[in-house]
A and B are shown apart, each in its own frame.
Chain A
Amino acid sequence: GAVVSQHPSWVICKSGTSVKIECRSLDFQATTMFWYRQFPKQSLMLMATSNEGSKATYEQGVEKDKFLINHASLTLSTLTVTSAHPEDSSFYICSASTTSGRATGELFFGEGSRLTVL
């Protein structure tokens, strides 16, 4: 099946620093990738839809200047948490679908990145 790789799997940083998380589709091209945030024991909250070569579409309430998304190629999307604060600590997951995946509804998820801001 299609593989989505996310890196880093965990990161600890100081308050005020910026952190970049990468999401790569390893064996397929993903024109669209999605970024989610998940708080402990809660569901996935969609943050933004990342489209290759264009600006990301952010969900209501998500600060686009805080969470910078870049989708520079068909296999890579990045999420940068700028000037991170402790309240940004969370589990961030990306996902992507193949063309056939859209037909079956299957979405492939990265392994997630746990961010802890001290």
Chain B
Amino acid sequence: EDKVVQSPLSLVVHEGDTVTLNCSYEVTNFRSLLWYKQEKKAPTFLFMLTSSGIEKKSGRLSSILDKKELSSILNITATQTGDSAIYLCAVDAYNTDKLIFGTGTRLQVFP
């Protein structure tokens, strides 16, 4: 059965800290891995990763995929209170239209 697991489930840090969120997957016919940020309502798209070892970067956020280890990490440097959210990892496969979502990591950043 396809599955996506994220760790940690919850993380509490202070502003300015750097955090690393993990996502591992076991999915047949893997196509891509996606990261989303969810605050109060709908998730918003962050990154899509298809190739191993190529870092995607957007401001203080960056992410990389390791296909050999079947995993990805999402880094947030110099965290701010506005980074507080649930971060969702999802995997897309070739043989289906649906995304398989991970368990999510709840990040809380305190001043």
Interface hits, A6-22 → B, CB 8 Å: none
Alpha-carbon distance A97/B98, docked complex (angstroms): 10
Residue-wise, chain A 45-59 has the 8 Å CB interface mask toward B (1 for contact) of 110010000000000
Q: How large is the interface on B (under 10, 10 to 19, 20 to 34, 35 or more residues)?
A: 20 to 34
* CB-based contact A107/B42 at 8 Å: no
Name which of A36, A42, A105 has the most chain B CB atoms within 10 A of its CB. Answer: A105
Interface residues of B in 56-90 (CB under 8 A from A): 86, 88
Find A93's partner among B42, B92, B98 (CB 8 Å cutoff): B42
Q: 21 A-B residue contacts at CB 8 Å?
A: A34-B97, A41-B86, A42-B103, A43-B86, A43-B103, A43-B104, A44-B43, A44-B88, A44-B101, A44-B104, A45-B101, A46-B99, A49-B97, A105-B34, A105-B50, A106-B45, A106-B48, A107-B34, A109-B42, A109-B43, A110-B42
- Tell me, in angstroms, the Cα distance from A46 to B6 when the chains sit together: 17
Query: Interface size for chain A: under 10, 10 to 19, 20 to 34, or 35 or more residues?
Result: 20 to 34
For the complex of A and B, 7 pairs with smallest distance between CB atoms: A109-B42, A43-B104, A105-B48, A105-B32, A44-B101, A111-B41, A43-B103
B residues engaging A (CB < 8 A)? 6, 31-32, 34, 41-45, 48, 50, 86, 88, 92, 97-104, 106
CB pair A105–B92 under 8 Å, yes or no, is yes
Chain A residues within CB distance 8 Å of chain B: 32, 34, 36, 41-46, 49, 93, 97, 102, 104-107, 109-112
Q: Are B43 and A32 in contact (CB-based, < 8 A)? A: no
Given contacts A106-B45, A106-B48, contact A41 B101 (CB under 8 A): no
Cβ contacts under 8 Å, A41 to chain B: 86, 106
Q: Are A107 and B99 in contact (CB under 8 A)?
A: yes
